[in-house]
Amino acid sequence: MLSQQMRNTYTQNTTLTSTPNQLLLMLYDGAIRFCKLGIEGIESNNYELANTNLCKAQAIIYEFISSLDMKQPVSKDLLVMYEYIIHLLVQGNVKKDLILITEALGYIEELRETWAEASRLAGSMKPSNHYV
């Protein structure tokens, strides 16, 4: 088992050497993990665990909102989606409602897969240095 210091060093190195697309996917993975931990907290009546992790998921979504370039048409749609996810997480946390949190988790997972696919497609469309 790795020590906390080793984990922190690994995380820092991974973050510093990742592409913007990889960082985005890492944030989505974090939001997904925190939602699942929030669900586990509610299921086990550990509301402190639930609250802590659902707040972490919200913080990631707020970070996505703050990084939107509102000059891009897709940003307006993403803003609406992110705000709805925040609403679900907040209401789910306050009410300890697994249905709301699970709905938010589903949207986050879908967005993560969309970004992963877009990243794969963008990577496959890189110009070639080879001439025919």
Confidence grade of residue 130 (pLDDT, cut at 50, 70, 90): very low
Dihedral angle computed from the Cα positions of residues 108, 102, 34 and 79, in that order, rounded to the nearest 10 degrees? 30
> Helix, strand, or coil here: 88?
helix
What is the pTM assigned to this prediction? 0.82
User: How many Å apart are CA 108 and CA 27, to the nearest integer?
Assistant: 10
* pLDDT tens-digit readout, 56-75: 999 999 999 999 999 999 99
Question: Using 50, 70 and 90 to split pLDDT, how confident is the model at 122?
Answer: confident
Model confidence over 69-108: pLDDT tens digits? 999 999 999 999 999 999 999 999 999 999 999 999 999 9
Reading the block at residue 62, the tokens are: 């707020």
